[in-house]
Chain A
């Protein structure tokens, strides 16, 4: 409490102390293991106690020529649409709707209740979610096709048709993902002083205008967070694919993490799997760094 502390406060070096715990933890849990992963990627290795054979950069050159890998990378674009773009937009609109209209005009209880409902899929263990969705998308007796049938239409084979399966997977991912941006955005919107809206309303600004002029700028940091973290999640999405399609039909839903996983376990090519995860980590790192840099620039402005 004494004033003598003030000068230390201005010296930025003291702040580094606060980073020490995470630094140690990061070293042990992330840096060392990732370094080891890179090391593995230079070998042919079946894992476990199998002998390791030096392979130089061959895993990487094989990877560059591996059409299945490039295919999986292309599927990542679909994952970004399903995990980043659509949920962020819907989440933003729903958050504004819940906070503003419903929270204030119909009471916070209804808003909280709806928020909990939207968030439910995030709580569910993915294995169960995947199982339920395979019944929803079942071509003969599934919920969607039964509905279509009662309307006189023949539903398609959602998860079995290689031209369609990726969109079915996207549908489930959107369902799964919506709650995440919603909860973050609602917490962010709670920072907005309600008076601002009232003042704007008095000035004759409509709901949309209020949203764009007041809500959006306030929650900008969160928007960056959601977009960045969801992008990372989209690029490494794995469990939903494993459970819903297993990469099929006919390889049409293979994503990079799944491909790495298959090499690690199914094919026992741990060296090659390590190479895939190293490349993916670098790709994601590059994208994340770019986004961070952009975020910083926006903040400065």
Chain B
């Protein structure tokens, strides 16, 4: 209740700037930002450029030239070679579930560390962070035998469990740091209103943390989407393979099909990009909710 009032209070104030009178300096700064954007985007231009070329065009003119004609062969080839719908479904399922589970897990574990300030919370965090430090090769044997023993091998569940935990370790650290910066008064006020621990977490903290939570959802989704090594070992069955694994099958020992690889990468980028753009709006909307003095 308190937060709603709080949020409304800020919203009403968030006005009163006129987008007129832009100074020369501001235009210059915009130019800098746009130039940086172009520089960052340039390598993607190469991917787009080469995805729409025929293999012959790419081979004879190299990757930097304009396509002599627009060709969709590479896309057709990719979709014919890889079970794209299946891989897309697996990737969506895994990434979405991991994002949701890991964010919930992070929120719950960050609560006692960031707000509760339980004893030796620093130590707990440091130990949790070990999860983000270990090279995956060093975890793979036990994970493999564990997945086999529990019957989750070759099912998406093994990967979902592993990444929910690995990502949640990161999320716990991020959220506990941000929670630590939330003023105590806010929580105390809620306590006086008679809110329990569980309610404070969901009704007071979650709204304030919304921007950070969105960031985590985006990160977890994308990171999990692009994971390769652990999925490739735990999901050897084609029916549970993910998109990066499908993409990797385009690479042979002594040959590689670049235009198809580019087309495939472009297709595999689309879901993550859409996901990011969707959540961008939440990030912006989070502005008002997050205003804490």
Residues of A whose CB lies within 8 Å of any CB of B are 1-3, 5-6, 8-9, 12, 14-16, 18-19, 21-22, 25-26, 28-30, 32-34, 36-37, 40, 47, 94, 97-98, 101-102, 104-108, 110, 112, 114-129, 131-133, 135-136, 141-143, 146, 175, 178-179, 183-184, 186-188, 190-195, 198, 220-222, 224-225, 228-229, 232, 235-236, 238-239, 257, 260-261, 264-265, 273-274, 277-278, 280-281, 284-285, 288-289, 292-293, 295-296, 299
CA–CA, A101 to B19, complex, Å? 10
Given contacts A19-B124, A25-B161, list 16 more A-B pairs with CB under 8 A: A1-B196, A5-B197, A26-B169, A97-B29, A102-B29, A105-B22, A112-B283, A128-B47, A175-B40, A183-B219, A186-B283, A193-B293, A220-B181, A224-B177, A232-B132, A273-B137
**Chain B, 31-62, contact with A by CB distance < 8 Å: what is the 0/1 string?**
01110110011111011000000000000001
The B contact surface, by secondary structure, is helix
A146→B265 contact, CB < 8 A: no
CA–CA, A246 to B194, complex, Å? 60
Number of B positions contacting A (CB below 8 A): 109
B84 lies within 8 A of chain A by Cβ: no
**Chain B, 115-140, contact with A by CB distance < 8 Å: what is the 0/1 string?**
01111001011111111111101110
Given the interface contacts A125-B265, A187-B215, A288-B133, does A221 sit within 8 Å of B191 by beta carbon?
A: no
From A1, A123, A228, B194 is in contact (CB under 8 Å) with A1
B273→A25 contact, CB < 8 A: no
A30→B130 contact, CB < 8 A: yes
From A16, A33, A142, A221, B118 is in contact (CB under 8 Å) with A16
> Chain B residues with Cβ under 8 A from A124's Cβ?
44, 47, 265, 269
Question: Chain B's nearest CB lies how many Å from the CB of A130?
Answer: 10
From B116, B129, B290, A15 is in contact (CB under 8 Å) with B116
B36→A118 contact, CB < 8 A: yes
Question: Chain B's nearest CB lies how many Å from the CB of A252?
Answer: 21
A133→B43 contact, CB < 8 A: yes
- Find the A residue at minimum CB distance from B168: A22
Most chain A CB within 10 A, of B138, B169, B199, is at B138
> Chain B residues with Cβ under 8 A from A104's Cβ?
17, 19
From B46, B177, B269, A221 is in contact (CB under 8 Å) with B177
B196→A106 contact, CB < 8 A: no
A30→B30 contact, CB < 8 A: no
**Chain B, 185-208, contact with A by CB distance < 8 Å: what is the 0/1 string?**
000000100111101100000000
From A28, A125, A195, A295, B165 is in contact (CB under 8 Å) with A28
- Find the A residue at minimum CB distance from B133: A284
B218→A26 contact, CB < 8 A: no
B129→A116 contact, CB < 8 A: no
Question: Chain A's nearest CB lies how many Å from the CB of B72?
Answer: 19
A114→B135 contact, CB < 8 A: no
A29→B134 contact, CB < 8 A: no
Given the interface contacts A187-B286, A191-B292, A193-B291, does A123 sit within 8 Å of B272 by beta carbon?
A: yes
- Find the A residue at minimum CB distance from B124: A19
Most chain B CB within 10 A, of A101, A175, A186, A284, is at A101
B151 lies within 8 A of chain A by Cβ: no
> Chain B residues with Cβ under 8 A from A198's Cβ?
17
> Chain A residues with Cβ under 8 A from B143's Cβ?
29, 33
Question: Chain B's nearest CB lies how many Å from the CB of A241?
Answer: 13
B94 lies within 8 A of chain A by Cβ: no
CA–CA, A195 to B174, complex, Å? 26
From A94, A186, A224, A260, B33 is in contact (CB under 8 Å) with A94
Given the interface contacts A123-B276, A285-B133, does A9 sit within 8 Å of B142 by beta carbon?
A: no
A29→B131 contact, CB < 8 A: yes
> Chain B residues with Cβ under 8 A from A120's Cβ?
40-41, 44, 273
Can you list 8 A-B pairs, Cβ within 8 angstroms, ordered by A?
Answer: A1-B196, A16-B112, A29-B162, A30-B169, A33-B141, A98-B33, A123-B226, A198-B17
A236→B133 contact, CB < 8 A: yes
B142→A26 contact, CB < 8 A: no
From B40, B137, B197, B265, A8 is in contact (CB under 8 Å) with B197
Given the interface contacts A2-B194, A115-B280, does A106 sit within 8 Å of B165 by beta carbon?
A: no
Question: Chain A's nearest CB lies how many Å from the CB of B15?
Answer: 10
CA–CA, A288 to B112, complex, Å? 20
B180 lies within 8 A of chain A by Cβ: yes
> Chain A residues with Cβ under 8 A from B40's Cβ?
117-118, 120-121, 175, 178-179
B90 lies within 8 A of chain A by Cβ: no
A277→B180 contact, CB < 8 A: no
A34→B43 contact, CB < 8 A: no
- Find the B residue at minimum CB distance from A112: B280
Question: Chain B's nearest CB lies how many Å from the CB of A20?
Answer: 9
B262 lies within 8 A of chain A by Cβ: yes
> Chain B residues with Cβ under 8 A from A34's Cβ?
130, 134, 138-139
Question: Chain A's nearest CB lies how many Å from the CB of B91?
Answer: 11
From B43, B117, B164, B181, A132 is in contact (CB under 8 Å) with B43
B211 lies within 8 A of chain A by Cβ: yes
Task: Name B240-293 residues within 8 Å CB distance of A.
Answer: 244, 247-248, 251, 258, 261-262, 265, 268-269, 272-273, 276-277, 280-281, 283-284, 286-287, 290-293
